[in-house]
Amino acid sequence: MSVHTLPLPKAGCAEPDIIRERGQHEVFCGLTGIVWLHRKIQDAFFLVVGSRTCAHLLQSAAGVMIFAEPRFGTAVMEERDLAGMADANEELDKVVARLLDRRPDIKMLFLVGSCPSEVIKLDLSRAAERLSRHYSPEVRVLNYTGSGIETTFTEGEDRCLAALVPELPDATSEAPELLVVGALADVVEDQFARLFAEIGIERVRFLPPRNSRELPAVGPNTRFLLAQPFLGETARCLTERGARHIPAPFPLGAEGTTAWLGAAARAFGADPMAFRHATAAAEARAKRALQPFRDEMAGKTIFFMPDSQLEVPLARMLSRELGMEPIEVGTPYLHRAHLAEELKLLGSDVQLSEGQDVERQLDRVRASRPDVTVCGLGLANPLEADGLTTKWSIELIFTPIQGYDQASDLAGLFARPFDRKTRLRV
């Protein structure tokens, strides 16, 4: 087990004792991000260059989406593609030509790297440049990696958005602009847009946009707010373009949403009265909606197995707003700077873990017998069969949970397994 210490964060919050493990990771790779990204950017197509395994994973993760002519596919490499590099590029060009010929509605094409394409060193960034030259201006071709050797689950979105950053036009106006970064459900995005308008922040754009032709501009006047905790690379690229990050906790729960909106309001010098006016009623409504869940969940212990990097913000929301007690909060990667505000709120006595040795972690789960274990679908039923209650984690990515009006839906996701346990008499 290799333990390397990271430099202490400047925020000055206590350095908690973190379990760092390596071993078998029971997690998805970054390709899974395609499942929600292709619904978000409506004229983009995601072409994975990979193996049958990659196609099989997407099929398993996308469930019934596969049957709706989805805007993703896999160029499955065959034995002859592995023989020589030039050949693989020609094959890829043929697949792309066929695809774009059939799908004239596609305006942006992502070539998505996978473990096999990276191990054979197929240079997809050069392929993307070549194909972009060929198909511009109709279609822009970009590239990022979603491979398991590089990315865990939601990091696929991070790499995708980071690949979009160089494509963003330069901001021309002098006025400051707010950029909200991270794919959110449309309903949540619309709520936030309304709230920002009421707070008095006039110029707000979202990344990713719903359409590849509507890329938000970026420049030194851009302040950006992360809507998701797993966007380290995207934030770095935006900073390189001169944009400045607004540190904030993430918009989960009533408190988290207010703090997140508040960070933006302060950064834009919004009128505090306007801010209260815009948020007070919605915040009170969210707290009212959370109350019955608090009665039910207070004092219950919760164990997070690593999955999406949402674990720390979720643990903060569940402990502070529902009174739950985190036993261990596992995350695939702990971004100290982006989580600084969250860690302050979570408190330093919570056991964090980064990375995973799934067998050892399961030993800890069985030893501590938490009231609820948040884990992936490969582990949920086996733990239930052992008499534990689980909440499967992927639902936390596929369900709208951010913002005031989704706070009770978020609490409901954790309460439902208990509700079910109390109903069943067999």
Partner 1 sequence: MQLTVWTYEGPPHVGAMRVATAMTDVHYVLHAPQGDTYADLLFTMIERREKRPPVTYTTFKARDLGSDTAALFKSTLESAHERFKPAAMLVGASCTGELIQDDPAGLAKAANLPCPVIPLELPSYQRKENWGAGETFYQIVRHLAALEEDQPVAEKPQGRAPRCNILGATALGFRHRDDVMEITKLLKENGIEVSVVAPLGASAADIARLPDADFNVLLYPEIGEQAARWLKRTHGQDYTTTVPIGVGATREFVAEVRRLAGLDALPDRSDAGRLPWFSRSVDSTYLTGKRVFVFGDATHAVAAARVATEEFGFELVGLGTYSREQARAVREAAAAHGLTALITDDYLDVEQAIAEAEPELVLGTQMERHIAKRLGIGCAVISAPVHVQDYPARYSPQMGFEGANVLWDSWVHPLVMGLEEHLLGMFREDFEFSDTAKPSHLGPGERVSEAPAAEPALRPLAEEGPIRIWSADAEAELKKIPFFVRGKARKNTERFAAERGLAEITLETLYDAKAHFAR
Expressed in angstroms, the distance from the first to the final Cα of the chain is 43
Task: Give 14's DSSP letter.
Answer: -
Q: Residue 311 Cβ, how far from partner 1 at the closest point, in Å?
A: 17
User: Judged by CB under 8 A, which of 18, 66, 217, 350 binds partner 1?
Assistant: 66
The residues in 164-223 that bind partner 1, with binding defined as CB under 8 A, are none
Q: Residue 396 Cβ, how far from partner 1 at the closest point, in Å?
A: 16
Q: Residue 110 Cβ, how far from partner 1 at the closest point, in Å?
A: 15
354 contributes a contact to partner 1 by CB under 8 A? no
59 contributes a contact to partner 1 by CB under 8 A? yes
Q: Which residue has the tokens 């992360």?
A: 226
Q: Tell me what percent of the chain is helix, strand and coil, each rounded to the nearest 5.
A: 50, 15, 35
Tell me, residue by residue from 355 to 374, as one string, x for binding to partner 1 by CB under 8 A and - for no binding: ----x---------------
Tell me, residue by residue from 84 to 123, as one string, x for binding to partner 1 by CB under 8 A and - for no binding: ----x--xx-xx--xx--xxxx---------xx-xxx---
Q: Residue 122 Cβ, how far from partner 1 at the closest point, in Å?
A: 10
Tell me, residue by residue from 148 to 167, as one string, x for binding to partner 1 by CB under 8 A and - for no binding: xxx-x---------------
Backbone phi, psi, residue 412, to 5°:
-60, -35
d(CA 395, CA 251): 17
User: Judged by CB under 8 A, which of 9, 23, 269, 292 binds partner 1?
Assistant: 23
Q: Are 168 and 243 in contact (CB under 8 A)?
A: no
d(CA 333, CA 255): 24
Phi-psi category of residue 347: left, alpha or beta, with phi > 0 → left and psi -120 to 50 → alpha: left
CA-nearest of 200, 205, 202 to 184 is 205
Under DSSP, is residue 163 helix (H, G, I), strand (E, B) or coil? helix
Residue type, 301: T
The residues in 253-272 that bind partner 1, with binding defined as CB under 8 A, are none
72 contributes a contact to partner 1 by CB under 8 A? yes
Interacting residues with partner 1 (CB under 8 A): 22-32, 49, 51-53, 55-57, 59-61, 64, 66-79, 81-82, 88, 91-92, 94-95, 98-99, 102-105, 115-116, 118-120, 147-150, 152, 359, 376-382, 384-385
